[in-house]
Amino acid sequence: MKTQHIEPFFATLKAANPQPNTELEYTSVFELLSAVLLSAQATDVGVNKATRKLFAVANTPQQILNLGLEGLEGYIKTIGLYHSKAKHLIETCRLLVDQHHSVVPRTREALEALPGVGRKTANVVLNVAFGEPAMAVDTHIFRVGNRTGLGPGKTPLAVEMKLMKRIPAAYLVDAHHWLILHGRYVCQARKPLCWQCSVSDYCSFKPKTPKP
């Protein structure tokens, strides 16, 4: 993607969705952290179905700990990799209680020190909960970054660094959401919907198949 196309690319996405947000359901920073931790290799829809029931009975670190591992697994067993995720969430809750007074920390270093919390999860919390310009590169953003030419890279970190450098500051806080939603609903993996894409004029990708 040419540099002169980046501003109109995001201006178009912003015009269509001025206040984008995550599709994960949450009412507190801890709920957000928990939902993102559970969302790896799972859909937001599937995570929301599980957390609606979980958060109704336990939505603080201590309450999750009170459930115990088996009790927690009972609520999240419909989510992929739930055994390891339950273990990580329990361990994270223990650290939050013991080291952070049950408050989710606001620094990348402290977040990434929590079990099961990698760079992507930390970026989501920093961006969504605390309004910091951060880019959580999931499969959708990795694909959109490479396909459009906006932030090409061979690894998620490389794509993240390129996007953080190229995206104008005015769009940086919300860019994460626009790119995820665009990848999820328009710039899809197998069959990108180029013929109905509002930013196709600025994209480097040229579809190989004709308009249906």
pLDDT tens track of the chain, all 212 residues? 999 999 999 999 999 999 999 999 999 999 999 999 999 889 999 999 999 999 999 999 999 999 999 999 999 999 989 999 999 999 999 999 999 999 999 999 999 999 999 999 999 999 999 999 999 999 999 999 999 999 999 999 999 999 999 999 999 999 999 999 999 999 999 999 999 999 999 999 987 655 55
All structural domains of the chain: 3-20+134-202 (1.10.1670.10), 29-129 (1.10.340.30)
Q: How far is CA 172 from CA 18, 90, 98, 116, 179, in A?
A: 13, 33, 34, 26, 11
Residues with active-site annotation: 120, 138
